[in-house]
Amino acid sequence: MIGYYGSYDVVVCGGGTSGIPAAIAAARAGAKTLLVERVGQLGGQMNYSGPPGFSYAYFYNARREKIVGGFGEETYRRLFDEGHALPTKLQRWRNSYQFSYVDPDWWGLLAYQMIQESGVELMLHALVTDVVREGTAVRGVLAEHPSGRSIVLAKVVIDCTGEGEVSFQAGAETEIIGTDTLEPATVAFTADGVDWARFMDYVRDNIDEFTFAHLCEEYDGLTEGEIKQMVRQCESIEEIGEIMGFLSLKEKAIKTGEWHNFSGIGFFILPREGGVIQAHFQHSSQVGFADCTDVRDLTRVEVEARNQDVVAWKFFKKYVPGFEKAYITRVCPEARIRETRRVMGDYVLTEDDIAEARKFADVIGKSSFPAGAKHVIPGNEATVNGTLTLSNVNRYPKDGGSNDIPYRCLVVKGLDNLLVAGKAISTTRGAHNRFLQQTLVTGQAAGVAAALCARRGLTPRELEADVSELQQVLRGQGAILDGVH
Ligand SMILES: Cc1cc2nc3c(=O)[nH]c(=O)nc-3n(C[C@H](O)[C@H](O)[C@H](O)COP(=O)(O)OP(=O)(O)OC[C@H]3O[C@@H](n4cnc5c(N)ncnc54)[C@H](O)[C@@H]3O)c2cc1C
């Protein structure tokens, strides 16, 4: 039996890092909004299967100009003011230049508060399994939940499922590359009880064991030696933020079977109340050759990732000074998926658009994340005809600037009343917009666009003809659309 649930201006499918800003922005712009989420917890890759190792990064470009505001800025500020975020750091040895660590669980709790404040209705534990389509127009979705199946009607549907599921169900054109080159998936975990003083002594005494990003060489003229010297002078792990390497330990452990060969060794930090810092491991498992839209592969990913995590944690306990009495506090409930489908839209953002720092008249937000940056695991080095393609070939926006994200990347090609936000927006593979800040930006923009379409009786495609009101509302919500490189 299929029941009728209700009729809305905007229905947002997926309550992750793009879906939450999408729903809040739509409601703030005056739309009657429903957010449908598959599990009971809002937050997606930020707190359910996350957090991102360097959360709230790339809010600045390499020139230190702030390029991301809006929902990202607002949530950071609220969390910081309540003691759930660390101060923003501009670090010269990190490619992102800036990072602002936030407590992921408080991020999730804040999301519920903001959803209620803005008047968004929630439908939790509800999986969107199909769409209601009339010709090329999407009129709503079918949701399955503990009480059965319901039709939800909408003037505009926003696909924030991360994997482009709703667009796929609607018959949209999507792209997914082969499993030999898809990025690996991860089950992240967090640990407490680390003796940080002991660990920091180890880092200072063994600085050549670690690797640090140094794009800043290009802008600051720093050598690797100078960067390592700066890191050695850090007084606390908060100042370092993330650490990768343990090079000779890894070499030894690989030989003895005490480290698996699927990732480098390292961790990020995670701030907790009262100044507590935990270690967060988001690269310690990486399962490749898997299409996470295929249930068999996805199941294998969940099992293999946990096996790798066990190997990784035993390694840390045995070999890394400071971790002797540490203990795991949180294993994410499901795998984090880096890459599956991209949904084709009215414009497809390219690597050149990013590298050339291109500007577009229909800009809805900015990004300074490089094109081509991909995770690879041994065995899938992303080669085509023997030539290294995307892996390790980062192309940063030129002159330390940023590229615009055009509104048309959110408008699903060939279909009406359907927008996509988050990591599935319309890009080439090399321009994949999968970073947290990009998903916040595109989510907020899709929410405002959907609300305007509902109010003015336009389809998202018709809105393309004049985006001035969309841009004006976004600026009013704090988004940064101009005035920076
Ligand atoms: C291992 C890993 C490390 C990362 N590290 C970083 C980092 O360090 N810094 C950074 O900035 N970014 C990082 N990212 C990227 C970033 O966290 C994510 O790409 C981003 O959060 C994805 O946002 P999203 O809204 O597209 O998807 P998600 O946050 O995954 O949200 C999708 C939501 O939709 C729901 N959903 C899915 N299908 C349905 C359905 N059919 N019906 C209803 N609900 C549904 C899901 O339950 C989920 O809540 C990392 C990603 C991974 C995988």
Evaluate whether 241 touches 210 at the Cβ level (below 8 Å).
no
- Report the C-alpha gap between 91 and 432 in whole angstroms: 25
Best substitution site from 436, 437, 442 to test ligand 1's pocket, by max atoms within 8 Å of Cβ?
436
With a 6 Å cutoff on the Cβ, whether 19 touches ligand 1 is yes
Residue type, 202: Y
Residue type, 16: G
Model confidence, pTM: 0.96
Sign of CA dihedral 456, 460, 461, 464: positive
- Report the C-alpha gap between 374 and 400 in whole angstroms: 20
Tell me the pLDDT of the chain (485 aa) as tens digits: 899 999 999 999 999 999 999 999 999 999 999 999 999 999 999 999 999 988 899 999 988 899 999 999 999 999 999 999 999 988 776 766 788 999 999 999 999 999 999 999 999 999 999 999 999 999 999 999 999 999 999 999 999 999 999 999 999 999 999 888 899 999 999 999 999 999 999 999 999 999 886 554 455 667 788 888 888 999 999 999 989 999 999 999 999 999 998 999 999 999 999 999 999 999 999 999 999 999 999 999 999 999 999 999 999 999 999 999 999 999 999 999 999 999 999 999 999 999 999 999 999 999 999 998 788 787 665 554 444 454 447 888 999 999 999 999 999 999 999 999 999 999 999 999 999 999 999 999 999 999 999 999 999 999 999 999 999 999 999 999 999 99
Instruction: Tell me how far CA of residue 179 lies from CA of 183, 294, 305, 376, 387, in angstroms.
Output: 8, 11, 16, 12, 17
Which of these, 298, 265, 55, lies nearest to 184 by C-alpha position? 298
Residue 32 CA, ligand 1 centroid: distance in Å: 25
Delineate the domains of the chain, giving CATH numbers in brackets. 2-61+104-178+339-476 (3.50.50.60), 189-331 (no CATH)
Residue type, 421: A
Atom of ligand 1 nearest to the CA of 282: 1
Residue type, 156: V
Backbone angles phi, psi at 437, to 5 degrees: -65, -30
Atom of ligand 1 nearest to the CA of 49: 30
- Report the C-alpha gap between 462 and 417 in whole angstroms: 10
Three-class secondary structure of residue 390 per DSSP:
coil
Atom of ligand 1 nearest to the CA of 50: 17
- Report the C-alpha gap between 227 and 229 in whole angstroms: 5
- Report the C-alpha gap between 353 and 369 in whole angstroms: 12
With a 6 Å cutoff on the Cβ, whether 39 touches ligand 1 is yes
Q: What is the DSSP letter of 320?
A: S
Q: What is the DSSP letter of 440?
A: H
With a 6 Å cutoff on the Cβ, whether 397 touches ligand 1 is no
- Report the C-alpha gap between 307 and 359 in whole angstroms: 45
Per-residue pLDDT at 218? 55
Per-residue pLDDT at 54? 86
Residue 87 CA, ligand 1 centroid: distance in Å: 24
Q: Which residues neighbour 190 within 8 Å (Cβ) at sequence distance 6 or greater?
A: 270, 278, 279, 280, 281, 328, 329, 330
Per-residue pLDDT at 97? 74
With a 6 Å cutoff on the Cβ, whether 72 touches ligand 1 is no
With a 6 Å cutoff on the Cβ, whether 377 touches ligand 1 is no
Whether residue 51 has a cis bond before it, omega within 30° of 0: yes
Evaluate whether 450 touches 473 at the Cβ level (below 8 Å).
no
Per-residue pLDDT at 89? 85
Best substitution site from 112, 161, 331, 343 to test ligand 1's pocket, by max atoms within 8 Å of Cβ?
161
Q: Which residues neighbour 364 within 8 Å (Cβ) at sequence distance 6 or greater?
A: 405, 406, 407, 410, 441, 442, 445, 449, 467, 470, 471, 474, 479, 481
Residues in the chain: 485
